[in-house]
Amino acid sequence: MIGALANGVDLSNALRRTASDGFSHLDDVLDERFAAELWDEIRGGPLRTMSGEFGTAKVRMEIDGFDVESPFAGFPCIQTLVGEFTERVRTDGEGVRGLATWRPNEAGVGVYRPGSVGVTAHMDGRWYRRLVAVFTVIGSARFEVRASRQGDVVETWTARARGVTLMRGPGLAGGRDGRPYHAVYGPERGVRCSTALRMAHPPDAPS
């Protein structure tokens, strides 16, 4: 199988910024041919519509998607991505507390249609520890980080095909929390697909 990561990818600065600021993003991380194979794999997966308001905060969502858990049976591309990215995080994140033992055990797939809401401002679950890595497989759309759910926009960028957005989870660099509020919009045209790698722990599990 084709390697998941593009030649010359260096996550060092992005990982350190995520530890200090709570988020970062990097373009051209996935190999172009691998991204195409991953999209083919995802299209054959159990996509279901996830639409409506969720939780007490009434986060709005309009996506298709599914989650797949370790060992990612039936999803060899996701399995390859998890293995290669985990190793690169361990190498490039040397010295950042929590990354040496970050092992994603869940991948969340989202497919965003043009003109959709996407996912309004929210924080990822507290049970996703240390780091969440969101790869854009195809397409592009606006991604923004906010000071709070209804607060000012801290930073906004275009999440582009083959890029990755990194977000801090509880336990990264010794922090108790530090998760950023973020929103992901539907694409202006075409389809955007993302794959998020997460290390999920039950709420009562030790870090």
Nearest residue to 140 (alpha-carbon basis) of 156, 160, 154: 160
Specify the pLDDT at position 178.
93
Domains detected in the chain: 12-200 (2.60.120.620)
Sign of the torsion formed by the C-alpha atoms of 20, 11, 171 and 64: positive
Determine how many CB atoms are found less than 10 A away from the CB of residue 40.
10
Please, are residues 196 and 81 in contact by the beta-carbon 8 Å criterion?
no
Token pair of 88 as six digits:
């690169």
Nearest residue to 51 (alpha-carbon basis) of 141, 128, 98, 117: 117
The string of DSSP codes covering 29-91 is: -B-HHHHHHHHHHHHTS--EEEEEEETTTTEEEEEEEEEEETT-TT-HHHHHHHHHHHHHHHH
pLDDT tens, 56-111?
Answer: 778 999 999 999 999 999 999 999 999 999 999 999 999 999 999 999 999 999 99
Separation CA 85–CA 107 (nearest Å): 12
Looking at the chain, the whole-number percentage of residues with pLDDT higher than 90 is 90
Separation CA 190–CA 115 (nearest Å): 9
Separation CA 174–CA 138 (nearest Å): 34
Contacts of 111 (CB under 8 A, 6+ apart): 42, 47, 63, 64, 65, 191, 192, 193
- Orientation angle between helical segments 12-21 and 76-92, nearest 10 degrees: 80
Q: Which amino acid is at 168?
A: R
Specify the pLDDT at position 202.
62
pLDDT tens, 146-194?
Answer: 999 888 999 999 999 999 999 999 999 999 999 999 999 999 999 999 9
As a whole number, mean pLDDT of residues 13-34 equals 98
Q: Is the pLDDT of residue 206 over 70?
A: no
Specify the pLDDT at position 58.
82
Q: What is the mean pLDDT of the chain?
A: 94
Whole-model pTM? Answer: 0.95
Nearest residue to 199 (alpha-carbon basis) of 89, 77, 37: 89
